[in-house]
Amino acid sequence: MPTNLLSRNPVSSAPTTPPARKRSRGAIFKAVLGIIVVFAVVVGIKALQIVKMTHMAMTPPPTTVSSTVVKEEEWAPTLSSVGSVSAVQGAVVSTELGGVVAEVRFQNGGVAKKDDVLVRLDTSSEEAQLKTAQADVDLARNDLARAHDLAARKVISRAELDAAESKFKQKQGTVDNMRAMMTKKELRAPFDGQLGIRQVNVGQMINAGQQVVSLQALDPVFVDFALPQQYLGHLSQGLEVKVKTDAAPGREFVGKLTAINSAVDPVTRNVALQATLENHEGALHPGLFAKVEVVLPEKNKTLVIPGSAVSYAPFGDSVYVIEKKQDEKTKSDTQVLRQAFVRVGEARGDFVSITQGVKAGDTIVGTGVFKLRNGIPVVINNDLAPKPQENPKPPDT
């Protein structure tokens, strides 16, 4: 009986899945698959974009620069040095004798003419002694006249006449000495010139040699300077000399080389030179520091550019030459930079001379070279470009 029952109602060992659950699992699988496909497509697109960007040439936008042209000019070679201004005639007027200052007859910074009395010392004692000496002279003169009369009549001997003549000369010499001392107590200007600030006052007791006031002749003036011995063969009297000083900013004084020392300094191997300059306005004063340039007679053709166009560096100075170059893709002409190393010569104002590296007519970058590099494209705009000058005069100086 049990066996029959079992055979009638068999029981399956595997579990059965309802149809609704199967449909839910299929939907989830399709959704996940769709997300994976979308993500793969997005990643693929971005990967293609990155690869394309890495293979593209990154061309920077053109840089705006100002330009200038290398010019060939005739520059007269110059020899530069520094020196000092000195007066053609200058002295610190001093007293020869001591005494008390009785009178000062000049104003500080005034002008004096030759033989003008500057200071007078007290001479009351000398004046009293002069009266006594003058009385002795008068007595000796009368004695000499009587001696001549007596000698003519053979009353006195020749020796007595000689003694009278000697006595008169001694007394006269005493008077002359007193007058000379009184003259020396009047301090006079030895030449025409401009006075400085007095160093004595009325009533002051001064000694012999006391400095009273500086007296300088300011027109013309000398400029004393020196140059190395290797330039001695290029120098001759009469060469043009240009002088600048901080005391007169923006001005240039022109004179002539008037003296070349006959010997070279054995220590410095420099030769001392002296130039003479007119100074009608009195702008140059003795003792001023001066920058000196001796202009040589010959002139050389020189390549000239603004100093702002040079990029100075320890490994070498350079400029950026602007050249035209055809774009390989667009076939249009563009302007690019080529760095050219140069050798810089002397400077004059805002300009410098170039001895090697460029040629006349080359177009180069004029300013802002520190921000540039070789090969970059540029656009020229000279609207705000500065104008260099050989003799610049800044308005704020």
What would the pLDDT profile of 197-219 be if each residue is shown by its tens digit? 988 888 888 888 888 888 888 88
SS3 state at 374 = coil
Cα 83 to Cα 76, 222, 224, 286, 293, distances in angstroms: 21, 10, 5, 11, 10
At 394 the pLDDT is 64
Q: Is the pLDDT of residue 321 over 90?
A: yes
At 13 the pLDDT is 45
| Confidence label for 292 from pLDDT (cuts 50, 70 and 90) | very high
- Closest listed residue to residue 310, CA positions, set 56, 70, 32: 70
Cα 30 to Cα 36, 42, 383, distances in angstroms: 10, 18, 68
Q: Is the pLDDT of residue 28 over 50?
A: yes
Helix axes 158-184, 124-152, angle to 10 degrees: 160
Put simply, whether the predicted model's pTM sits higher than 0.75 gets the answer: no
At 21 the pLDDT is 65
Q: Is the pLDDT of residue 9 over 80?
A: no
Q: Is the pLDDT of residue 71 over 50?
A: yes
The residue that leads in pLDDT, 30 or 268, is 268
Beta carbons of 223 and 292 less than 8 angstroms apart: yes
In terms of DSSP bridges, do strands 378-380 and 63-65 run parallel, antiparallel, or are they unpaired?
parallel
At 248 the pLDDT is 85
Beta carbons of 237 and 301 less than 8 angstroms apart: no
Q: Is the pLDDT of residue 4 over 50?
A: no
SS3 state at 200 = coil
At 23 the pLDDT is 66
Token pair, residue 53, equals: 């960007």
Q: What is the 8-class DSSP label of residue 156?
A: S
Q: Is the pLDDT of residue 58 over 60?
A: no
Give CA–CA dist 360/70, Å, rounded.
5
* Angle at the Cα of 48 from the Cα atoms of 44 and 53, rounded to 5 degrees: 150
Looking at residues 233-247, what average pLDDT do you find? 90
| Confidence label for 22 from pLDDT (cuts 50, 70 and 90) | low
Looking at residues 78-90, what average pLDDT do you find? 89
Cis peptide before 220 (omega within 30 of 0): yes
Q: Is the pLDDT of residue 10 over 60?
A: no
Cα 180 to Cα 15, 99, 101, distances in angstroms: 156, 15, 18
At 59 the pLDDT is 61
At 2 the pLDDT is 44
